[in-house]
Chains A and B, each alone.
Chain A
Amino acid sequence: MTAPRFVDLFAWEWRRTGRSPLLWSVFLIIASSFVWGAVNTAALHSAQEAAIERARQAERDWEASTRERARAYHAPISAGAGEVAYWQDPTDVAGYSEYFVRRWALKPHLALSPLASGVSDLAPTRLEIKLNTLFGFGDTYDFENPRGLALGRFDLAFAIVFLLPIGLLLLFALLVTFERDRGMLRLVAAQAVGPRSWTGARVLAILAWAIPVVLAAMTGALVLAGVPLAQATAPLLTALTATLLYMLFWTGIALVVLARQPGAGAALGSFAAIWAALTIGLPLAGSAVAGLLDPAPSAVAYVDVQRRVSDEVQAERDLILARAFAARPDLRRHSDRVGTLDYATRLSFLIPETERRLTPFKAPIEAHRERQEEIAGAAAYLLPTLGLEAAFATLAGTDPARQRAFESQARDFQLDLRRRVHPLVQREITRPAPALPRTMRGRLNLPEPLTLPAFVFQEPAQSDRLARVLPFAAWLGLLAGLAGTLGLSRMREWRVS
Chain B
Amino acid sequence: MILSLVRLELAILRRDRRAWWSLLALAALVLLSFGAIASQAHRANAEKQAVSAAERARWVGQGEKDPHSAAHYSIFAFKPSPALAPLDPGVEPFVGQSVWLEAHHQNDMLYRPQQNASLLQRIGFASPSALITGFGPLIIFLLAFTLVAQDRERGTMRLALGAAVHPRAIVMSKAVAVWSAAAGLLVVPVTLAALAWAVLGGALGADLFWRALVWTGIMASYLALLSAVGIALSLWLGNARLALTGLFGLWILFALALPRVASGTVEAARPLPSSQAVRQQLAEEAPTFWSDEQAARNRALLLRRHGVSRIEDIPNPRMAELDLMERHSHAVFDRVLGGFYAKVASQDRLFATLGFLSPTIAAQAASASAAGTDFSHHRDFIDVAERYRRDLVNRMNSDGMAHRAHGAERHTNDQSLWSQVPTFAYPPPALGNGSSSALPAYAALLAWLVAAAILLAIVSRRLRP
> Do A and B make up one complex?
yes
- Give the complex CA separation of A48 and B263 in angstroms: 18
- Give the complex CA separation of A373 and B44 in angstroms: 22
**Contact of A298 with B264 at beta-carbon distance under 8 Å, contacts A122-B114, A143-B275 already known:** no
Beyond A290-B120, A300-B98, 18 additional contacts (C-beta under 8 Å) are A43-B267, A54-B276, A139-B110, A148-B267, A150-B90, A152-B260, A153-B264, A166-B256, A264-B240, A269-B19, A269-B22, A280-B123, A280-B126, A281-B25, A284-B126, A301-B51, A303-B76, A372-B121
| Chain A binder among B184-192, B193-201, B286-294 | B286-294
Q: Which residue of A lies closest to B124 (CB)?
A: A287
Contact A154 B91, beta carbon cutoff 8 Å: no
Contact A288 B51, beta carbon cutoff 8 Å: no
**Contact of A390 with B245 at beta-carbon distance under 8 Å, contacts A145-B267, A146-B95 already known:** no
- Give the complex CA separation of A366 and B130 in angstroms: 29
Residues 71-103 of A at the B interface (beta carbon under 8 Å): 73, 81, 84-85, 87-89, 99
Residues of B within 8 A of A276 (CB): 135, 138
> Which 9 residue pairs are nearest across A and B when measured between Cβ atoms?
A287-B124, A154-B260, A146-B91, A283-B124, A376-B120, A146-B94, A376-B118, A51-B276, A299-B111
Residues of A in contact (CB 8 Å), total 93
**Contact of A181 with B241 at beta-carbon distance under 8 Å, contacts A147-B374, A299-B98 already known:** yes
Interface string of B17-42 (1 = CB under 8 A from A): 01100100100010011001000100
Contact B347 A99, beta carbon cutoff 8 Å: no
B410 within 8 Å of A (CB atoms): no
- Chain A contact residues, CB within 8 Å of chain B: 22, 33, 36, 40, 43, 47-48, 50-51, 54-55, 58, 69, 73, 81, 84-85, 87-89, 99, 118, 122-123, 126, 138-154, 158, 162-163, 166, 170, 174, 178, 181, 264-266, 268-270, 272-273, 276, 279-281, 283-288, 290-291, 298-301, 303-304, 307, 311, 369, 372-373, 375-376, 379-380, 383, 385-386, 389-390, 393, 400, 441
Contact A141 B275, beta carbon cutoff 8 Å: yes
- Give the complex CA separation of A284 and B272 in angstroms: 31
- Give the complex CA separation of A383 and B321 in angstroms: 60
Contact B125 A287, beta carbon cutoff 8 Å: yes
A-B contact pairs, 5 of them (CB 8 A): A85-B292, A123-B115, A147-B90, A300-B47, A379-B120
B102 within 8 Å of A (CB atoms): no
- Give the complex CA separation of A276 and B142 in angstroms: 14
- Give the complex CA separation of A140 and B116 in angstroms: 11
B48 within 8 Å of A (CB atoms): yes
Contact B277 A51, beta carbon cutoff 8 Å: yes
B280 within 8 Å of A (CB atoms): yes
- Give the complex CA separation of A126 and B275 in angstroms: 10
Interface string of B230-249 (1 = CB under 8 A from A): 00000000001100110010
Contact A87 B289, beta carbon cutoff 8 Å: yes
Q: Per DSSP, are chain A's interface residues mostly helix, strand or loop, or mixed?
A: helix
B378's contact among A51, A146, A151, A311, by CB below 8 Å, is which?
A146
Contact A265 B22, beta carbon cutoff 8 Å: no
Q: Shortest beta-carbon distance, B61 to chain A, in Å?
A: 10
A141's contact among B115, B290, B347, by CB below 8 Å, is which?
B115
Residues of B in contact (CB 8 Å), total 93
Contact B94 A150, beta carbon cutoff 8 Å: yes
**Contact of A291 with B119 at beta-carbon distance under 8 Å, contacts A170-B248, A181-B240, A280-B126 already known:** no
B135's contact among A81, A85, A280, A311, by CB below 8 Å, is which?
A280
B97 within 8 Å of A (CB atoms): yes
**Contact of A154 with B98 at beta-carbon distance under 8 Å, contacts A88-B289, A286-B124, A304-B54 already known:** no
B97's contact among A84, A270, A280, A300, by CB below 8 Å, is which?
A300
Contact A147 B375, beta carbon cutoff 8 Å: yes
Interface string of B401-433 (1 = CB under 8 A from A): 000000000000000000000000000000000
B332 within 8 Å of A (CB atoms): no
A163's contact among B36, B44, B256, by CB below 8 Å, is which?
B256
**Contact of A150 with B91 at beta-carbon distance under 8 Å, contacts A55-B276, A143-B275 already known:** yes
**Contact of A145 with B375 at beta-carbon distance under 8 Å, contacts A272-B138, A376-B118 already known:** yes
Contact B276 A147, beta carbon cutoff 8 Å: no
- Give the complex CA separation of A383 and B119 in angstroms: 12
Q: Shortest beta-carbon distance, A133 to chain B, in Å?
A: 13
Interface string of B150-170 (1 = CB under 8 A from A): 100000000000000000000
Residues of A within 8 A of B117 (CB): 122, 372
A149's contact among B25, B40, B94, by CB below 8 Å, is which?
B94
**Contact of A166 with B252 at beta-carbon distance under 8 Å, contacts A122-B115, A154-B263, A376-B120 already known:** yes
Contact B121 A303, beta carbon cutoff 8 Å: no
- Give the complex CA separation of A299 and B252 in angstroms: 37
